[in-house]
Amino acid sequence: MATKRAQMMEETRAKLIRAARKAFAAKGYAAASMDELTAEAGLTRGALYHNFGGKQGLLQAVVDQIDREMVERMLAAQDQAANRWDGLLEEGVAYIEMALEPEVQRIMLLDGPAVLGDPSQWPNQNACLLRTTQTLQALIDEGTVKPVDAEAAARLINGAALNAALWIAAADDPRAVLPKAVEAFRQLAAGLLRAER
Amino acid sequence: MATKRAQMMEETRAKLIRAARKAFAAKGYAAASMDELTAEAGLTRGALYHNFGGKQGLLQAVVDQIDREMVERMLAAQDQAANRWDGLLEEGVAYIEMALEPEVQRIMLLDGPAVLGDPSQWPNQNACLLRTTQTLQALIDEGTVKPVDAEAAARLINGAALNAALWIAAADDPRAVLPKAVEAFRQLAAGLLRAER
DNA sequence: CGCATTGACATACGATGCGTATGTGGCCCA
DNA sequence: TGGGCCACATACGCATCGTATGTCAATGCG
């Protein structure tokens, strides 16, 4: 079994990450105070610097955690699609829907890139994007999709979905624009298909 | 003629904006010191707070200025295209190329949204995006493009181009991936066309 | 089983940087 | 030409981050 100290350590990290997700999502990275954040978790800044090295390190940990959750949900969305192409579309739609959550939007789409730099450079290697790339490559191999560069296409698809989500989230009536965005997304993605269907 | 004081005022604003563009692009918004910034312009923070209200106000002014320049270049790109559809593509390509400049990338794509919020909410009303929407609407009206929501499509297109640019800029060899991104962009955009060409 | 050591976290300190309140010198108009 | 006003400089307080130091409990060894 894991030693008692290691258990406490993990619990501490979890508490900090939990508080950080809430604070970063609510106030944004810059405006979030480390003192308040750690106090909320029943700790002090000492624990923070010991476990994560600093404010950026904590953000990094939060980003990694959310990224893992996003991949999980994208996998689930893809699994319940009839074929691989629909799976790709469902991935995109799932991505759009996830980006509606303030936590994802603020942390992953706004502050994350601004503080940590381009997502593709993140240590976690942007698992989310990697998944889309792999799916696309498979579609190209099986002849469903035109022979374009898989990574390039994946990035464009992701970018399109991302902006769709940002748009929806900022709209007066998100529920109203969501179908419009999804429809436009499907049309756009169809451009990658090899032949008319 | 404009009074002398007004002239000096404009000159001061211009000097501050110039210094801000350099500092924000080089260090990022958060790391840019207002003291250094204003000193670089031969002024102090007093001038800053008088003219722009604060750090955010200065960023806003910088963003507006760059946004105007981007629209100008997109117009130029569109004008030298054979038809309206190619004009749209050229706009996209121009957008991608502009996003390769560190200034645009850092200020407009990373720090801008993070600090000022979603671009579509900016006072300047995101002239850049507005242009694409208008072009798309015209293409829909003339029957070239499928009858999708113009704004939705414009946002997706822009988002795709944006991410393409971010990818290119972060790549080890930007010159090598640029053509791949442009090609994928063209393929993707083709999904909006009404019929096969 | 008890003590020295390690390490997780708290506390204390210094530095930096933003925003605001107050001061001042030069331009405009009577 | 002199007083008011305005653009900008100076001075201050406050918040926050990072680091250096302290402390107490868990661990492992004799």
Q: How do residues B60-116 score in pLDDT, each as one tens digit?
A: 999 999 999 998 999 999 999 999 999 999 999 998 888 889 999 899 989 999 999
> Token pair of A50, please?
């010991």
Rounded distance between C-alpha atoms, residue B127 and residue B134, angstroms: 10
Most B CBs within 10 Å, among A130, A185, A187, A192, to test the B interface: A187
Which of the following CATH numbers is that of domain A1-53: 1.20.1260, 1.10.10, 1.20.5, 1.10.3470? 1.10.10
Spatial neighbors of A145 by CB under 8 A, at least 6 apart, are A85, A136, A139, A153, A192, A193, A194
What are the residue ranges of CATH 1.10.10 in chain A? 1-53
pLDDT score of A190? 93
More reliable by pLDDT, B169 or A30 = A30
Domain with CATH 1.10.357.10 in chain B: 63-192
Give start-end residues of each CATH 1.10.357.10 domain in chain A. 64-190
Query: Where does B63-192 sit in CATH, by number?
Result: 1.10.357.10
Burial class of residue B176, CB neighbours in 10 A (0-12, 13-18, 19+):
exposed
> Residue A99's pLDDT is what?
84
User: What confidence score (pLDDT) does residue A51 get?
Assistant: 97
Question: Between B152, B163, B180, which is nearest A158 by CB?
Answer: B163
Q: How far is the CA of B10 from the C1' of C20 (A)?
A: 24
Q: Write the DSSP symbol of residue A147.
A: S
A38 pLDDT more than 90: yes
Owner of token pair 């991505």? A95
B45 in Cβ contact with B33 (< 8 Å): no
Q: What are phi and psi of A149, to 5 degrees?
A: -70, 120
Quick one: average pLDDT of A142-150?
A: 94
CATH H-level, domain A64-190: superfamily? Tetracycline Repressor, domain 2 (1.10.357.10)
Whether the pLDDT of residue B6 is over 80: the answer is: no
- Give yes or no for residue B119 having a pLDDT over 90: no
Instruction: Categorize the per-residue pLDDT at A100 as very low, low, confident or very high, splitting at 50, 70 and 90.
Output: confident
pLDDT at B30: 96
Bases of chain D within 7 A of a CB of the protein: 6-11, 15-20, 22, 26-28
Please, which positions of strand C sit below 7 A from a protein CB? 7-12, 16-21, 23, 27-29
